[in-house]
Amino acid sequence: MASYNPPIDDIAFLLNDVLDFDGQMQTLPGYEEVSAELAVSVLEEGGKFCAGVLEPLNRPADEEGCKLENGLVSTPKGIADAYKAFVEAGWAGLSGAPEFGGQGLPRATQILLDEMLSSANLSFGLFPGLTRGAVEAIEHHASDELKAKYLPKMISGEWTGAMALTESSAGTDLGLLTARAEPVGDGSYKIKGTKIFISSGDQDFGGNIIHLVLARLPDAPKGVKGISLFLSPKFLVEDDGSLGARNGMSVGSLEHKMGIHAQPTCVMNYDGAIGWLVGEPGRGLNAMFTMMNAERLFVGIQGLGIAEAANQKAASYARERLQGRSLDGSRGPVPIIEHPDVRKMLLTGRSFIDAARALAIWTAMQMDIAARHPDPAERRRADGFVALLTPVVKAAFTDFGFETAVISQQVFGGHGYIREWGMEQFVRDARITQIYEGTNGVQAMDLVGRKLPMEGGELAGRFFDLVKQDLQAASLVPATERIVAATASALDRLERTTELLLAGSGDPAVAGSAATDYLRLFALTAFGWMWAKMAASAAAADTPPKVRKCAVADFFADRMLPQTLGLETAIANGATSIIALNQDLF
């Protein structure tokens, strides 16, 4: 069985030839010394850690799962040691702020490490990923005192983070949450309530666990305006930074789940846990959104990571497995990779993966531009693109990621259904990415209901203009005709559909009925855009991915982009057939 091979060549191609990483990053204050060469050499080492340490643990840890005994959580054998090695090697602080001890590398570098972590061991990758999300919220919204006390050890990875939003009656609709926080009188609060589904809610790595908890103050109004955010550590922290008494929180139980078995998903009881406000009272969701946007990009990357690992294994199996005869009937048994249907499955996955990676890097670079560019207009422009693309990355990457896990499993036939090959684990692990961090249906509603109307509808228009410019540039390079023409047609459909939705934006039934199809139409067009850029760069360059890129771009044009025809038609057919049926008749 082939082991995971970190996609370093592809990363180097994207950073150097397609996305002008050096040119974009080196204009940003603080990133003058950053280069693709540096990023690739760092990621090469990161890839070795993922492939050498984390991937071998993936299946045994899935088999063993996490345990809760006498109130103590234990992760499967090897996970705690791997986490310590990860921290000692400095991986936890890769993109952390240098003022708190981080290495300050750009987000694009971070997401590529995240992709490799997700390919190798998704359960493991959630520990540092959630910690980083908590760090973002604290960095942007907490007091200087809290930042100084908590951030250095969280950025180094010595302490981990968790986010505690969900309650049994409050999932998507956080306005329904009931956890309460009462002022103690010394600036701290006592938090009471039960949260469910809390990833990394506890672990056995040592150190501390910093929970960011949503709760209501005693006089808070109902709904989302009454929610505040609190930092509550597992162990209280003394003034000298050492760990003090256990705080009033405990793990009620571990959730029994379909996948990510090496990740402790906890029911957390907060029984008067001491916490401190992060941000202003009643503005907790605002503070939490800082964390959630970073986490949404991260979850999209998880879909990509699993797809890459599953597709690699499927391609390798398809080259070795002998079944059936060659197309002309003259040879047999032949490797199943000769059969068009198997090739189509592999190409479907590959054509999503490469485009998604390029789009993820582009989006991460926009995040860095939004945070650092000296020109406020450039910052605003980049920030708009990030807002528009965040739900697309989260939902489309995880939908296509899951689909890629399933078709990669399909390449194995019955062997894919048997545990020892590891393909069914990809399917089980990938499934959660479509659900947590806001379900994909809710991401689609965010795109249609909130992001499209931004700037009076002009934000999407600016994005479409950018795609057109790049298609125009790509069309000048020979051998890009098919991908450029197919993407231009998809963009026409996307623009027409966007106008239709903006015209009907007063009607929630129209938006709600169209949202998921619209997000897929948007994503396919954005992937086409990235394929046109990659094909143009590959045709001009002489790098290893050249032949593969041009061939897969043609496949994407011929076999994937036509899906946009059906999506446009479905959306144009309107909401009536979705709304008409009486609830009792379902």
Ligand X SMILES: Cc1cc2nc3c(=O)[nH]c(=O)nc-3n(C[C@H](O)[C@H](O)[C@H](O)COP(=O)(O)OP(=O)(O)OC[C@H]3O[C@@H](n4cnc5c(N)ncnc54)[C@H](O)[C@@H]3O)c2cc1C
Which residues participate in catalysis according to the annotation?
A: 437
Q: Are strands 209-216 and 227-233 parallel, antiparallel or unpaired?
A: antiparallel
Residue closer to ligand X, measured from CB, 197 or 531: 197
Report the residue number, 205 or 436, with the smaller CB distance to ligand X: 436
Give whichever of 127 and 555 is closer to ligand X, judged by the CB atom: 127
Candidates 97, 163, 287, 310: give the one binding ligand X (CB under 6 A).
163
CA 576 to CA 586: how far, in whole Å?
16
Stretch 389-448 residues interacting with ligand X (CB under 6 A): 432, 435-439, 441-442, 445
Considering the complex, what minimum distance in angstroms separates the CB of residue 270 from ligand X? Answer: 13
Tokens 């946009």 belong to residue: 564
Q: Using the rule CB under 6 A, is 511 a contact of ligand X? A: no
Cβ–Cβ under 8 Å, residues 411 and 318 = yes
Minimum Å gap between C-beta 230 and ligand X is 13
DSSP 108-166: HHHHHHHHHHHHHHHHHHHHHHHHHHHHHHHHHHS-HHHHHHHHHHHHHTSSEEEEE--
* HSE, side-chain direction, 13 A CA sphere, residue 244: 10
Name residue, tokens 């207009």. Answer: 377
State the pairing for strand pair 189-199/72-74: unpaired
Sorted by sequence, the CB contacts under 8 Å of residue 548 that are 6+ apart come out as: none
Question: Which amino acid, 148?
Answer: A
Q: Which of residues 196-215 bind ligand X (CB under 6 A)?
A: 197-199
Collapsing DSSP to helix, strand or coil, 393 comes out as helix
Q: Taking the CA atoms of 53, 59, 63 and 66 in sequence, report the sign of the dihedral they define.
A: positive
* Residues 211-240 close enough to bind ligand X by CB under 6 A: none
In angstroms, give the least distance from the CB of 300 to ligand X: 15
The answer to whether 108 and 137 have CB atoms below 8 angstroms apart is no
Which residue of this chain has its Cβ atom nearest to ligand X in the complex? 171
Closer to ligand X by Cβ: residue 39 or 66: 66
Among 3, 26, 41, 172, binds ligand X (CB under 6 A): 172
Measured from the CB atom, the residue of 327 and 509 that comes closer to ligand X is: 509
Q: Are 68 and 59 in contact (CB under 8 A)?
A: no
Q: How far is the CB of 216 from ligand X (least distance, A)?
A: 15
**Structural contact between residues 443 and 434, judged by C-beta atoms closer than 8 angstroms:** no
CB of 460 to ligand X, least distance (A): 21
Nearest residue (CB) to ligand X, 400 versus 556: 400
Give the Cα separation of 553 and 533 in Å (integer): 10
Question: How far is residue 95 from each of residues 92, 136, 306, 313, measured CA to CA in Å?
Answer: 8, 11, 22, 30
The packing angle between helices 36-49 and 107-141, to 10°, is 90
Contact between 277 and 229 under an 8 Å Cβ cutoff? The reply is yes
CA distance 133 to 289: 10
- Is 165 an interacting residue with respect to ligand X (CB under 6 A)? yes
Of 433 and 564, CB closest to ligand X: 433
Q: How many CA atoms lie within 13 A of 478 on its CB side?
A: 0
Which residue do the tokens 């990510």 mark? 260
Which residues from 179-198 bind ligand X, rule CB under 6 A?
Answer: 197-198
Q: Nearest distance from residue 165's CB to ligand X, in Å?
A: 3
Residue 164 binds ligand X (CB under 6 A): yes
CA-nearest of 406, 410, 475, 433 to 260 is: 433
Site string for ligand X, 54-73 (x = CB under 6 A): --------------------
Which sign, positive or negative, has the C-alpha torsion 403, 408, 414, 417? negative
What does the block give as tokens for 114? Answer: 């995240």
Find, among 435, 439, 405, the residue nearest to 257 by Cα.
435
Find the shortest distance in angstroms from Cβ 455 to ligand X. Answer: 24
- Rounded least distance, CB 438 to ligand X, Å: 5
Distances (CA, A) of 459 to 377, 382, 408: 13, 10, 36
Site string for ligand X, 258-297 (x = CB under 6 A): -------x--------------------------------
Which is closer to ligand X, CB of 166 or CB of 232?
A: 166
Out of 129, 133, 161, 171, the residue judged to bind ligand X by CB under 6 A? 171
Pick the binder of ligand X from 59, 140, 180, 257 (CB under 6 A).
257
Q: Which is nearer to ligand X, 19 or 445 (CB)?
A: 445
| Residue placing its CB nearer to ligand X in the complex, 163 or 460 | 163
Contact (CB, 8 A) for 193 and 186: no
Q: Which residue has the tokens 């948007």?
A: 522
Which residue, 84 or 428, has its beta carbon nearer to ligand X? Answer: 428
Q: Is 253 in the site for ligand X (CB under 6 A)?
A: no
Beta-carbon contacts of 384 under 8 Å, excluding residues fewer than 6 positions away, are 454, 455, 459, 462
CB of 204 vs ligand X, minimal distance in Å = 18
Number of residues this chain uses to bind ligand X (CB under 6 A)? 20
Interface with ligand X (CB under 6 A): 163-166, 171-172, 197-199, 257, 265, 432, 435-439, 441-442, 445
